[in-house]
Chains A and B, each alone.
Chain A
């Protein structure tokens, strides 16, 4: 399935991630910057916990009434001259978009970054049909030239350094200047400008759809989404069905949480809210507009203990604090959704079969849960996944099963469970190093120790990983 980015086994991907020194350092320094930046933003607000509370309430209410808000959204989009297509599966979505393109006899599509189009494998499907697809987000474009998968939701080309980028530009586009970031960017600006002006169809994702007016909100710094929505006559928005808010007032709250958590900014340079087709006598914007709303497994998450995973606003804060992601980088997770939220979502969307190791790629230190601006209990969900993998899916090794039985017994007494997790959290302080928890034991010490996951305190990740491999760790 296209949610996976790689065919090689988990260990190999982890090993590659560890060996890619640049990737590790880049991830680590990016995490540091994102984290301190977010702390200042949160401190400046003073009441960050209230903001998170509000974010959670909004997401919870919206997802609980998703059918109502999607109905309102689609009515409004249609009233404003747009077509709405509800796609149950990835295939339905791509087929519809292929038809839009075919009807326009379009040859070139320009896209702005979108996780959901990655999820449904849109680029690949369009390219098979002979359509040229240009990614317009700078990081995505760099990766596209090299046919490389993204490693971070917010800064997808995090694992590439500027020399590598210069080489890619030289090789693929005849670039002759230096590896100065400004020169690289200015070259990209010229190249991509040409692409925008010659594209027949624009495709974007959606940060937040606003039900009351049928409006799509896009959040970017580069201005590429604005180019795509402004310059093409045919525009397609693809949205995961949960990416919606009731009114403009909730949009504002969630956009603020997103920009502060994702890029440590009060707002990004561009927040664009567009509604339907362009109006009479308007020149900019599409005259043929399509909104594709994608389920692709999401409705199976509704009504389960994982429902809150659909509250995610894709800010990557959980990824930026994750000690495991810090060590192995983004590619090892083998999903377009990396880090803790990826470990929660991927098995839900794509089944446990190919992803049994993902919920284990976490030290359960809880940093992700604390970072999440909409308070998704990520590490609790990871524990639930492990339970399911062990008990229902029967996919974990025998030692695992025995330990899980112990866990069930121990966790069946809520008081004991709360007390011990609390204590574990306090104990974690001992492992805290410049604000992240490195190699922490996690709240489920005994259980996780049987897997040698996470590392015992003084051991480095590499040493720990080697040992874990020798003793035949999870596969």
Chain B
């Protein structure tokens, strides 16, 4: 695709900086301090789950924990609590591994479900817009900030976690890392190896909110109004 006016623009920058233009060979220096590596360093997975649970309270997110066998029940309760009549999920191999397909089959009489299908084009978005609940799996979970990381692709639209009224994140225990540092490190290393990063990576921490009216926190502005995280052992 096109790049316009670049040389003149970058030459001017180099001139202002009083040196010839740098077109290659610039390396990041070794930073003198790296405090990010110290946060939650050496913590056990159990401790990280505790940190995650505590942070969930701060970000107005319901925290639940179960194992693969218990997941169906916990999901049913959560869907009921959100009065969910329609649900959208990505087309994710984990849907089957974690028993979501079974569950959908079981509730299909009462609850409308939609699995993302790119061949159906914008229909996916239209469903997401009127859906009560979006459910996704977390790809990397950041304990410190209670954040789920989602890599979007053709089978996992961005709207699933954005448009529905409530959002449920299923967090496989092994996806939990101390903080954003570990997630961005992974991404950086993949890029350095020549991989392409997903067209959209979302770091989501709880429901959408705003403090724009008299500095009061209001939950649910553009995105979901409610959020539940389910950690699965």
Contacts and interface: CB of A to CB of B under 8 A. Distances in A.
A182 interface: yes
Interface in B37-87: 38-39, 55, 59
B191 to A, nearest CB: 5
B13 A249 contact: no
Interface string A138-165: 1100100000000000011110011001
A61 B28 CA distance: 8
Given A67-B10, A266-B55, A222 B222 contact: yes
Contacts of A54: 31-36
Interface stretch (A7-15, A269-277, A378-386, A433-441): A269-277
| Highest count of chain B CB atoms <10 Å: which of A136, A226, A274 | A226
Given A61-B29, A302-B17, A279 B214 contact: no
Contacts of A70: 9-10, 13
A86 B18 CA distance: 21
A285 B17 contact: no
Contacts of A80: 196, 199
A255 interface: yes
| Highest count of chain A CB atoms <10 Å: which of B12, B14, B187 | B187
Interface in A219-273: 221-224, 226-227, 229-231, 241, 246-253, 255-256, 263, 265-273
Contacts of A26: 214-215
A347 to B, nearest CB: 17
Given A185-B210, A249-B188, A67 B13 contact: yes
A252 B221 contact: no
B162 A82 contact: no
Nearest to B7: A86
Interface in B141-182: 142, 144-145, 147, 152-154, 157-159, 162, 180-181
Contact of B13 (A66, A139, A224): A66
A85 B36 contact: no
Contacts of A267: 142, 145, 147, 180, 203, 205
A271 B203 contact: yes
A201 interface: no
B145 A88 contact: no
Contacts of B145: 265-267
Contacts of B31: 54, 57-58
Contacts of B191: 212-213, 247-248
B185 interface: yes
A95 B7 CA distance: 20
A161 B214 CA distance: 6
A278 B196 CA distance: 13
A6 B33 CA distance: 44
B13 A88 contact: no
A66 B11 CA distance: 11
| Highest count of chain B CB atoms <10 Å: which of A26, A184, A215 | A215
B28 A246 contact: yes
A411 interface: no
A222 B221 contact: yes
B208 interface: yes
B115 interface: no
Interface stretch (A189-197, A387-395, A423-431): A189-197
B12 A295 contact: yes
A417 B70 CA distance: 69
Given A222-B222, A227-B222, A247-B188, A302 B16 contact: yes
A88 B118 contact: no
Nearest to B14: A67
A272 B201 CA distance: 6
A68 interface: yes
B199 A68 contact: no
Interface residues of B, number: 86
B134 interface: no
A256 B216 CA distance: 23
Nearest to B204: A270
B36 A252 contact: yes
A65 interface: yes
Interface stretch (B93-101, B106-114, B122-130): B122-130
A262 to B, nearest CB: 11
Nearest to A62: B28
A248 B188 contact: yes
Contact of A293 (B2, B9, B212, B216): B9
B223 A223 contact: yes
Interface in A16-68: 26, 29-30, 33, 45, 47, 50-51, 53-54, 57-58, 61, 64-68
Contacts of A277: 199
B208 A223 contact: yes
Given A50-B35, A54-B33, A58-B31, A65 B26 contact: yes
Contacts of A83: 1-4
A300 interface: yes
Given A223-B221, A269-B208, A252 B184 contact: yes
A418 interface: no
Contacts of B180: 252, 255-256, 267
Contacts of A279: 153-154, 199
7 contacts: A64-B17, A88-B9, A88-B12, A227-B162, A249-B181, A273-B203, A285-B152
Interface of A: 26, 29-30, 33, 45, 47, 50-51, 53-54, 57-58, 61, 64-71, 74-75, 77-78, 80-88, 92, 96, 136-139, 142, 155-158, 161-162, 165, 181-182, 184-186, 188-189, 192-193, 196-197, 212-213, 215, 221-224, 226-227, 229-231, 241, 246-253, 255-256, 263, 265-285, 293, 295, 299-300, 302-303
Of all A-B residue pairs in the complex, the 3 with the closest CB atoms, nearest first, are A223-B223, A139-B212, A86-B9
Interface of B: 1-6, 8-14, 16-18, 21-24, 26, 28-29, 31-36, 38-39, 55, 59, 118, 121-122, 124-125, 129, 142, 144-145, 147, 152-154, 157-159, 162, 180-181, 183-185, 187-188, 191-192, 196-216, 218, 220-224
Given A158-B215, A215-B197, A279-B153, 20 more contacts: A61-B29, A70-B9, A74-B3, A81-B1, A139-B212, A157-B213, A189-B221, A212-B192, A221-B209, A222-B209, A224-B222, A226-B222, A241-B13, A246-B28, A248-B188, A271-B147, A273-B200, A273-B202, A275-B198, A283-B121
